[in-house]
Structure 1
Amino acid sequence: IKGYDTHVTDGRVIYYGDTNHEVSTDAKYDQLLIAGTANKERFIEYLVTHESGQTDYYTFCQQAAQCGIAKSRIDIIEMTCTYLTSAEDPIVIEKIPV
């Protein structure tokens, strides 16, 4: 596995590896509507709140959707977590501590 994408819309995760091999999970919750316009500043506020343990995962997903975040991408090789819009535009890139 080289990384995985977690879809905010329904919690589905797609794992990917060499030679474009992919494996996905089932949806985890009912579909969330992703806002058409990204709100980076608000998303960062929600992210900081979530990372400090003040919100549960589903609440964070709802907040991310409201801010136009469609998925998070974990890159195991680069050790990054990138939050992306539906158009695949990166909004926030975090380095994963080793």
Structure 2
Amino acid sequence: MLNIKEIEQAVNNEQNAGGFADLMKTFLQLGVKKYDYLIAQGLYRYYDDDHHLDLQMNAVSKSVSPQGNPTKLKEAVQKAQAGQIDFDIFCQLAGEAGITHWQTDLIKKKVTYYKHTTPLLIEPIPGL
């Protein structure tokens, strides 16, 4: 079963979005198989094999544009991967690009960014 304190500690130890792969490795060690981030709600939903756990942590709800913009999203992802922006700015840019949520699948090693149920971008998790 997932441990709230261990997940919170792992997230709080991440310095910037450039440390994403290390955070994902830690999540795997903690039993996390995948997680969703819901932008408008500012909520993380972590999954193991049998349960899920909702956490607010460092999340802040952001508005989501009615228009999906994969190009704008790709630019935001690249900035985050390079460590040029923090999580809050990334969420703002993702919302501006029309992303309602993303799912990080640690088993398949990919992040899928959605506009409701439609995937707009699928990215491999670099370094995982």
After TM superposition, the score normalised by the length of structure 1 is 0.83
2:93 to 60, 63, 75: 63
After TM superposition, the score normalised by the length of structure 2 is 0.66
Percent of aligned positions with the same letter in both sequences?
28
Equivalent pairs, count: 95
Tell me how far 1:17 sits from its aligned partner.
Answer: 2.7
The question of 1:32 aligning with 2:35 is answered: no
**Distance in 2 between the 1:46 and 1:34 partners?**
15
Ranges in structure 2 where 5+ consecutive residues have no aligned partner: 1-31
Tell me how far 1:78 sits from its aligned partner.
Answer: 0.8
**Superposition RMSD in Å:** 1.7
Between Structure 1 and Structure 2, the one with more helix by share is: 2
- Tell me which residue corresponds to 1:5: 36
- Tell me which residue corresponds to 2:114: 84
Q: Residue 66 of structure 2 aligns to a residue in which SS?
A: coil
Q: Residue 56 of structure 2 aligns to a residue in which SS?
A: coil
Ranges in structure 1 where 5+ consecutive residues have no aligned partner: none
Tell me how far 1:8 sits from its aligned partner.
Answer: 1.8
- Tell me which residue corresponds to 1:22: 52
Tell me how far 1:82 sits from its aligned partner.
Answer: 0.9
- Tell me which residue corresponds to 2:20: none
